[in-house]
Amino acid sequence: MLSLPAVSRQIYNETKGIYYSENAFAFNSLSDLFPFLSGIGKRRSFIRKIAVIYCDYSQLYCTEDKKIATKVFNLIKEQMTLRSLHLAIDEVELLRRNKRFKGRQGFPGFKQLIQVHGLQRLTFQGNFHQTKQYLELKIMEPKR
């Protein structure tokens, strides 16, 4: 499939979004996700499915720095038509290690994440129950 667009410029232009729209992309951290989204430029608008570990506890400061979380979710909010997001998160450990977050709404990037429109599926892995309720209430569009 990836060699087909190399046949001609017309085929490339007609198929360039298929790779991004038909695959799910998984990342070990927000720090891994950010350069990918930044590097693919306008093609990120084709991405429909992403899975990411929100917090890597091997890092001293969770969420790979508040700026990265904010940048990632800004890219998603502003330039993507994301339909499915899977977050691996341990809200208890995150709050325990970072008292300054003041609850789920204070998690880095969540201010931008709740402004994402068009999500049809939001799934979680880990210890996430209150975070799930908070995000579903804020960003999930009503089903028609």
What pLDDT, in 10s, does the model give residues 90-137? 888 777 777 666 666 678 888 889 888 888 888 988 888 888 888 888
Instruction: With a cut of 60, say whether residue 35 has pLDDT above it.
Output: yes
Do 93 and 53 touch, CB atoms closer than 8 A? no
Q: Per residue in 67-104, is it b (16+ CB within 10 Å) or e — as a string?
A: ebbbbbbbbbbeebebeebbbbbbbeebbeebeebeeb
- Please name each of the domains of the chain with its CATH number: 4-139 (3.80.10)
The answer to whether the CB of 17 falls within 8 A of the CB of 10 is no
Mean pLDDT calculated for residue range 27-44: 92
Task: Say what the pLDDT of residue 108 is.
Answer: 83
Residue at 107: amino acid letter: F
Q: Decide: pTM greater than 0.85.
A: no
Whether the per-residue pLDDT at 144 is higher than 50: the answer is: no
For residue 50, give the nearest of 27, 66, 78, 29 by alpha carbon: 27
The pLDDT, as a whole number, for residue 60 is 41
Asked if 53 contacts 25 with a C-beta cutoff of 8 angstroms, the reply is no
Choose among 36, 48, 42: nearest CA to 82. Answer: 48
